[in-house]
Amino acid sequence: MVHHSVCPICASENIGLQFSCKDYFTSSKDFAILKCSQCGFLFTQDYPAENEIAEYYESDNYISHNDKAKGFSNKLYRFSRSVMMSRKKKLIRKITGLKTGTLLDIGSGTGYFAGTMKKSGWLAKGIEINERARKFSISHFGLDVATPDKISSFDSNSFDCITLWHVLEHFYNPFTYISEIYRLLKPGAECVIALPNCSSFDAEHYNQFWAAWDVPRHLWHFNPETFSLFSEKTGFTLEDLRILPLDVFYISQLSEKYKGSSLPFIKGISKAAYFAILSVFNKKRSSSVVYILRKSGV
């Protein structure tokens, strides 16, 4: 079990219980979410150690390669995935200013994003801890995907872009990882980090039922303010914030289910549409935020 006696970001001892959250995904156990009264950072307390966490991921829902699954929601899922992949590709091209280049996707999962980049001419590699997902991405997309321990053997200054789509919140050692990412990027290159936003409209509405607390798999619960404090300690410059507009639809439906509401799909979709419109005018309260970090240099 991992217990924090000080804030993981500012080291203040003024940390206290914000509320308890249930693991609706696998264990049904309760976990405490703590808040630092000095810097406002929220984090999970007393979560399983790294060598005990695997059982909390044991569900087919975490690996979605149901490419042939039928039914409306699966079709909708595949459609939204293809929309998201094309948006992410455009985003990477825009922020790097490159049509092709070298890219490392950390937490590449089943490889859809790295596969999309590869198809459009990028030299895309992945890092993935889950063996099934890794094998799928190699056989399905012909990707070069390594296990996380291999990252230290990659060459310094070798990538034009490194992406982490909803993975940093799972890492036991985010500061160590981020300095490794810094080493791997070329001078002036970007790192793109997507994270759930615990100050979002949907997080406020669903409170302890908000699906993106996702304890004990999510260890850190960032918002734009606390991510900015985190990034100050990494050597990167926080350059910009973007939003992923479709995440809120998935999170809201799941949160409705966790709340035990009737018609979770309809209610989730309609509330998500409202939250999505509000976030267009206030990006810092979007369900997910994409942070663009730049390494110093040319």
Strands 144-146 and 123-127: parallel
Find the part of the chain contacting Zn ion (CB under 5 A) among 28-36, 58-66, 147-155, 253-261: 28-36
Q: Considering beta carbons, is residue 37 or 237 the nearer one to Zn ion?
A: 37
Shortest spacing between CB 9 and Zn ion, in angstroms? 5
Closest CA to 207 of 247, 255, 246, 265: 255
Part of the chain binding Zn ion (CB under 5 A), chosen from 4-12, 153-161, 243-251, 256-264: 4-12
Q: Is residue 34 involved in binding Zn ion (CB under 5 A)?
A: no
> What residues between 180 and 219 interact with Zn ion by CB under 5 A?
none
Token output for 51 = 């060598």
Among 6, 12, 156, 239, binds Zn ion (CB under 5 A): 12
CB atoms within 10 A of CB 124: 29
The SS3 of residue 240 is strand
Closer CB to Zn ion, 45 or 110, in the complex: 45
Compute the distance between CA of residue 50 and CA of residue 193 in angstroms, rounded to an integer.
22
Q: Which one of the spans 30-38, 46-54, 63-71, 181-189 is the region binding Zn ion (CB under 5 A)? A: 30-38
Q: Tell me if 162 contacts Zn ion by CB under 5 A.
A: no
Q: Are 85 and 52 in contact (CB under 8 A)?
A: no
37 versus 86: smaller Cβ distance to Zn ion: 37
Here's the x/- map for Zn ion, 63-82, by CB under 5 A: it reads as --------------------
Closest CA to 170 of 246, 10, 62: 62
Among 21, 36, 191, 194, binds Zn ion (CB under 5 A): 36
How far apart CA 10 and CA 230 sit, in angstroms, is 9
Task: For residue 115, give the H/E element and its range.
Answer: helix 112-119
Is residue 10 within the footprint of Zn ion (CB under 5 A)? Answer: yes
Q: Look at residues 159, 179, 166 and name the one whose alpha carbon lies nearest to residue 244.
A: 166
Which residues of this chain interact with Zn ion, rule CB under 5 A?
A: 7, 9-10, 12, 36, 38-39, 41
